[in-house]
């Protein structure tokens, strides 16, 4: 499956023992999900137009700020399977050791849930589903 190629290549290059993705803590899923989410957003923004760094950052902020991630959660929530909703809920209810700088606690927790879901889908090799949900969420912001 082509959409899983980068994950497979990473695991090949940096061997890691097999792990059931359901065994990861919600904060570990959110940690990897934050990076994957950011990579998808940055790729999308760069592919839209060749812009100055400041302009790239300004467009990217729209998608990565906790307030808008919380809106994305509300947009995609009705579309989630029971399993996906459970991962989102576990991520939202996790107790992060950091606090939101520019977001409400509620939005920050929803954003953490979204990042956990993205991380879960990525590590489970369900990149197509991850991108589908992100696209629906992004389209709902526009």
Under a CB-based contact definition with an 8 Å cutoff, are residues 100 and 117 in contact? Answer: no
Q: Which of 20, 34, 86, 107 is catalytic?
A: 34
Catalytic-residue membership of 139: no
Where in the sequence numbering do the catalytic residues fall? Answer: 34
């Amino acid at each position: 499956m082509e959409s899983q190629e980068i994950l497979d290549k990473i695991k090949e290059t940096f061997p890691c023992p097999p792990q059931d993705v359901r065994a990861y803590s919600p904060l570990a899923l959110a940690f990897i999900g934050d990076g994957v989410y950011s990579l998808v957003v940055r790729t999308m923004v760069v592919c839209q137009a060749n812009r100055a760094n400041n302009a790239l950052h300004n467009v990217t902020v729209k998608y990565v700020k906790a307030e808008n991630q919380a809106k994305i959660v509300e947009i995609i929530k009705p579309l989630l399977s029971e399993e996906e909703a459970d991962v989102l809920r576990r991520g939202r209810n996790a107790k992060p050791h950091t606090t939101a700088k520019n977001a409400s606690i509620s939005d920050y927790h929803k954003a953490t849930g979204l990042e956990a879901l993205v991380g879960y889908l990525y590590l489970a090799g369900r990149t197509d589903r991850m991108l589908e949900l992100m696209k629906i969420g992004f389209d709902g912001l526009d």
